[in-house]
Amino acid sequence: MDSSVNINSEVINFKQYISSNKDVFTKILKELEVVSKKTKDFLKSTLTKDDRIDNQLLELNQFQTHGFAWFETYRIGLRETYNWYSRLTQENKDSEIDASITIFAFAEYLTQMSNGIMMSQSEIIRPHDLGLKDNDFNFLQDNEINDMIEIGLSDKIKKVIVDSLDKDMFANLGLNDETLEMIQDQFKKFTEEEILPHANEWHLKDDLIPDETLKKMAELGVFSIAIPENYGGLGMGKVAMCVVTEELSRGFLAAGSLGTRAEIAGELIRLGGTEEQKKKYLPGIASGELLTTAVFTEPNTGSDLGSLSTRAVKSGDEYVITGNKTWITHGARSDLMTVLARTNPDQKGYKGLSMFLVEKPRGNCENPFPMEGMSGGEIEVLGYRGMKEYEIALDGIKVSKNDLLGEEEGNGFKQLMETFESARIQTAARAVGVAQNALELALQYSKDRSQFGKQIIKFPRIFSKLAWMAMETTVARQITLFSAREKDNDIRCDIEAGMAKLLAARVAWSNSDSALQIHGGNGYALEYPVSRVLCDSRILNIFEGAAEIQAQIIVKGLLVR
């Protein structure tokens, strides 16, 4: 082991440590693959009945199986964090904070994986729950690995991270692409000038993000990033969308989410629509002329979309849609709804569902739904303001048969499923943006606030919180970008996208809670933005698949992969 990183040394060079001990990290990742396989085999034997995974057994063992989803999320998170740092070293762009975060991540996540992972504030998954024994982690007793963990958990490494933060040096994003870096710079500037100065006022007044701001976002290409060039978009892919979404969400969650509205609708139409539908709608979505909203959820269904009861009955050349929808984001100030409805009442579950493209007049706060057969009201919420949430009643609204997505019934759920990877990657990027915002607010406050004669950033429990926030934000960011790269390369990434969303949502909430704690009593005051960030962060564990649903999807994918 390199002497320059002895835990008792006054000066520790963490870049040099990783350079001299690459085999330590590769060994850890290989050993974790072995542990993962053992857990997978244990769970498959527990859950298999008649040579297949039994859903009843899966539900009965939900705690253990969801724990495996978290274990694998940690494992892939460490792998992608190490890959991120390795790419930085190849480009000669690595810094001490990058090296420190990598070591800290390995030390902390390994310790949790071998002792207990917090799935939530009240649930800890232990190794024995996963069919593991103490000797399955004997590799952690290897002298070099044990030394790495000791260093990674030390105050010294946390001080290096926070000293860098104190100098406004954050972890490298690892984009390694001039175009992406230019986009990030552009949207960082836009967020600083157009979003952050107004975000708290928008939140406190429960205002919609102003039309003028939407216009500027459209001019920057927010709504066109993922839409192909031949339909008026930029065709830049998911990594670019993550970069933009993270920056906008760093300013205000709703600002980052506006791009998601366009992406969900654009993806549905691009993948499932007829050529006529693509030509009709995609250019308007890309330009921001058409604002969209997803109309899927119903009051009693939640994530159980197979139980949808909204009906679409064909009558001549039209469909008549009747039903109640809820949690419709940006429902009033939208021009185009993607509506999921049941066209075949005889087919239960997902098979009888179809997707419709329903145009509507744009409403406002005073008259949200100026359309015959459509009514509803606002759902007042703690956070995630700026777009507003609505309950909507569809009472016999009529749409042309040409507005059936793809002009073929029964494909609605399949069409929606094709967008899930993108939606979850997007949500993970939003969560990373919120987590970064929480870190920045906590950092600035800890520098500005003095107690007992010194800045509170100097106190161990404050700088430890900041270091933790920086580390977990980086891990969440890298697993998110990995998923986006896989998607851009047409590689199936539903499991990894789910992992990114699962982890990033938890990190956003954890960071926001720690940031508010650092603010003390002031954090509880509405005038401080951190109170808004805490409210915003909480929704991320719920929408686009609650954490429990997300873990279920991940583990079902893992067990059959």
Average pLDDT over residues 315-340: 94
pLDDT at 267: 93
Please check the confidence at residue 322 and state whether its pLDDT lies above 70: yes
pLDDT at 9: 58
Enumerate the active-site residues. 544
φ, ψ dihedrals at 455, nearest 5°? -60, 140
pLDDT tens for 201-254 read 999 999 999 999 999 999 999 999 989 999 999 989 899 999 999 999 999 999
Average pLDDT over residues 416-437: 94
Please check the confidence at residue 3 and state whether its pLDDT lies above 50: no
Average pLDDT over residues 480-484: 97
| Cα separations in angstroms, 369 against 101, 134, 290, 335, 428 | 49, 60, 16, 11, 31
pLDDT at 5: 52
Average pLDDT over residues 541-553: 88
| Mean predicted lDDT score pLDDT of the chain | 93
- The half-sphere exposure of 22 on its side-chain side, counting CA atoms within 13 A, is 5
- The half-sphere exposure of 385 on its side-chain side, counting CA atoms within 13 A, is 21
pLDDT at 305: 73
173-181 own/partner pairs: CB under 8 Å, 24+ apart: 173/243, 173/477, 174/84, 174/87, 174/88, 174/478, 174/481, 175/239, 175/243, 175/481, 176/87, 176/88, 176/91, 176/93, 177/239, 179/240, 180/239, 180/240, 180/243
Q: Assign 350 a pLDDT band (cuts: 50, 70, 90).
A: confident
- List the alpha helices (DSSP H) in 168-310: 178-190, 196-205, 211-220, 238-251, 253-272, 275-287
pLDDT at 70: 97
Q: What is the largest CA-CA distance in the chain?
A: 82
pLDDT at 4: 44
Please check the confidence at residue 132 and state whether its pLDDT lies above 90: yes
Global pTM reads 0.94
Exposed/middle/buried for 352, CB within 10 Å: 0-12, 13-18, 19+?
buried
Please check the confidence at residue 300 and state whether its pLDDT lies above 90: no
Is the CB of residue 495 less than 8 Å from the CB of residue 545? no
pLDDT tens for 39-96 read 999 999 999 888 888 889 989 999 999 999 999 999 999 999 999 999 999 999 999 9
Please check the confidence at residue 546 and state whether its pLDDT lies above 90: no
pLDDT at 384: 93
Q: Assign 1 a pLDDT band (cuts: 50, 70, 90).
A: very low
pLDDT tens for 362-413 read 998 889 999 999 999 999 999 999 999 999 999 999 999 999 999 999 999 9
Q: How far apart, in whole angstroms, are the C-alpha atoms of residue 236 and residue 261?
A: 17
